Amino acid sequence: MKEKVVLAYSGGLDTTAIIPWLKENYDYDVICVCVNVGQEEELDNLEERALASGASKLYIENVVDEFCDDYIVPCVQANAIYEDKYLLGTSMARPLIAKCLVKIARKENAVAICHGATGKGNDQVRFELGIKALAPDLKVIAPWRCNDTWKMDSREDEIEYCRQHGINLPFSADSSYSRDRNLWHISHEGLELEDPACEPNYDHLLVLSVSPEKAPDEGEYVTLTFEKGIPTSINGTKKKVSEIITDLNKLGGKHGIGIIDIVENRVVGMKSRGVYETPGGTILMEAHQQLEELILDRATYTVKKEMANKFADVVYEGKWFTPLREAIQAFIESTQQYVTGEVKFKLYKGNIIKAGTTSPYSLYSESLASFTTGELYDHHDAEGFINLFGLSLKVRAMKLAEAEKQDK
């Protein structure tokens, strides 16, 4: 029997061309694995395409709920945003995909795992760190780094390669955006986006959303409830996290929410420019942050923001299966014990506008925050506090003044 390789298969031209390439260069039995993290129509006709391209089998692993509950929710609870803009849509999904690839590799007794990530991107790092952490004995094959055997540099080359191997598939050689989609977002790279001086062609580019200019002229109210930092209902109806994100994607897309244009710093050292659509995720993140404003004390909130940035870096760099990620997540989860309540907001032309937040654990006290003097706060107490709080500044100024006199 031939040795087996598990191929991370999307059904696109790259991974379709990899199937005959693997058979030709390694003589492997190719087992395709597509991990469903919510990419929708991209899953159509996959088995027919994989088998027609020479694969012996295709697994489609539906892990949408696991993706939401075990990967998205921790990032929402952390408020993890890479470089202040990117909501980690692709980054969160890659470790779960790696986990599924390893699971099927073990089931099929495969000797290797192959992925179609390029040698310039982040995904090669994320896939391979996940595989190393979960199955260090498995060989990893990255065709785009195999300069001696992978000779294809364009879509035309890949289409011709498939044709030469008796594979005629409905792929166009026309240039298009490079996209990655899951339930949380869709990313766009390529074409005019490769030049930061060019404005994105949103009419051609957007998939999940409309631009704010084309959003309805009437705003729409939405209410979300959270329990311990986890979303539990939308507009009064209890739903799974995956269902809430699906609903929010429709609402956010309708109102032009969550479209960002970013030049980010990749793990491999270069800058890249992309446009991300994250309509539901942007709303969910903002709602969670609004609730935390009421509930977390100042010291905890300050440290949590630092941990959010570190957590975002860890996820972006593909270090999900590490003690560091586990430790940061444990801290984050401890802060979520009382993050329970309701958040109401209005969606309007790309904006999420606050419309009221309530929580049984709110630290906001109207009597304290008002300008009236109450039992808990006497305005005169502030004088002593300021004297002590500013004591070091006052002493320093006095010492500098004394030194200045002596110099004269």
The span from the CA of 158 to the CA of 164, in Å, is 10
pLDDT band at 176 (very low <50, low <70, confident <90, very high): confident
Catalytic residue among 10, 14, 187, 359: 14
Query: What stretch(es) of the chain map to CATH 3.40.50.620?
Result: 4-66+89-178
**Per-residue pLDDT at 372 exceeds 70:** no
**Per-residue pLDDT at 190 exceeds 90:** yes
Catalytic residue among 10, 91, 94, 247: 94
Q: Is the CB of residue 9 less than 8 Å from the CB of residue 46?
A: yes
Query: Which CATH number applies to 4-66+89-178?
Result: 3.40.50.620
Mean pLDDT of 106-114: 98
Least confident of 65-74, 96-105, 160-169, 295-304: 160-169
Catalytic residue among 29, 49, 91, 123: 123
CA angle 123, 78, 348 (to 5 degrees): 90
**Per-residue pLDDT at 25 exceeds 90:** yes
Residue whose tokens read 């999307």: 10
Task: Place domain 185-296+339-358 in its CATH homologous superfamily.
Answer: Argininosuccinate synthetase, chain A, domain 2 (3.90.1260.10)
pLDDT band at 19 (very low <50, low <70, confident <90, very high): very high
**Per-residue pLDDT at 42 exceeds 80:** no
**Per-residue pLDDT at 216 exceeds 80:** yes
Query: What stretch(es) of the chain map to CATH 3.90.1260.10?
Result: 185-296+339-358
Mean pLDDT of 103-112: 98
Phi and psi, residue 30, nearest 5°: -95, 120
pLDDT band at 175 (very low <50, low <70, confident <90, very high): low
Query: What residue type is assigned to position 17 of the chain?
Result: A
For 398, the 3-state DSSP assignment is: helix
pLDDT at residue number 16: 94
User: What percent of the chain stands above pLDDT 90?
Assistant: 89
β-pair type (57-62, 112-114): unpaired
The span from the CA of 385 to the CA of 401, in Å, is 24
pLDDT at residue number 116: 96
Summarised one tens digit per residue, pLDDT across range 52-89 is: 999 999 999 999 999 999 999 999 999 999 999 999 99
Sheet hosting strand 351-358, strand order edge to edge? 237-238, 230-234, 220-227, 341-348, 351-358
Active site residue 178: yes
Summarised one tens digit per residue, pLDDT across range 324-347 is: 999 999 999 999 999 999 999 999
Active site residue 94: yes
Catalytic residue among 69, 157, 178, 362: 178
Neighbours of 137 (CB within 10 A): 6
**Per-residue pLDDT at 290 exceeds 70:** yes
The span from the CA of 235 to the CA of 244, in Å, is 10
- The span from the first CA to the last CA of the chain, in angstroms, equals 93
Mean pLDDT of 131-155: 95
Nearest in space to 85 (alpha carbons), one of 222, 273, 330, 244: 273
